[in-house]
Amino acid sequence: DETTKEIKLKPTFQTTTMIHPMVRDLYKRVIYVGHDYPMGLDYVRKTWKKVLRNPDNCPSCFDQDKNPILPASPECEREIRKAVGKGRAYIREMVGIIQLKKYRAMKKRYDNQDFRLQNEELLEKSKTK
């Protein structure tokens, strides 16, 4: 008796959803900035994907069953542009947080008492000359 193994392949369904080019560009910017974000790239990726996929952020682009409407209407385009503008503002906030983190790290690293005393001695020497 030969035993034959049947391999059952599950059908793969690939859902292709069109991403607006402005939204794709925004996501790329977020990922680029997210590399230095204090909470890490994984946190940034998860939260932004959740926000970008939320149909409540652009209600005129989705039907009642939360499926995207293609092609996009002019009203949807306006909402997308408005949402992308808000997203870019959030990116600027992220950049500010990253700069603050770097500033605090530099200050912590170089702002100790010995360093201050050395600077004061150098200033006094330069004034007496």
pLDDT, tens digit, 9 for 90 and up, residues 76-115: 888 889 999 999 999 999 999 999 999 998 888 877 666 6
Identify the weakest region by mean pLDDT among 16-20, 59-63, 105-109: 16-20
* pLDDT value, residue 127: 79
Does residue 115 or residue 31 have the better pLDDT? 31
Say if residues 37 and 98 touch (Cβ distance below 8 Å).
yes
Packing angle between helix 21-34 and helix 74-110, nearest 10 degrees?
Answer: 10
* pLDDT value, residue 91: 95
Tokens 């499926």 belong to which residue?
67
Report pTM: 0.67
Say if residues 29 and 91 touch (Cβ distance below 8 Å).
yes
Give the 3-state secondary structure of the chain: CCCCCCCCCCCCCCCCCCCCHHHHHHHHHHHHHHCCCCCCHHHHHHHHHHHHCCHHHCHHHECCCCCECCCCCHHHHHHHHHHHHHHHHHHHHHHHHHHHHHHHHHHHHHCCHHHHHHHHHHHHHHHHC
Instruction: Determine the distance from the C-alpha atom of residue 52 to the mean position of all C-alpha atoms in its chain, rounded to a whole number.
Output: 11
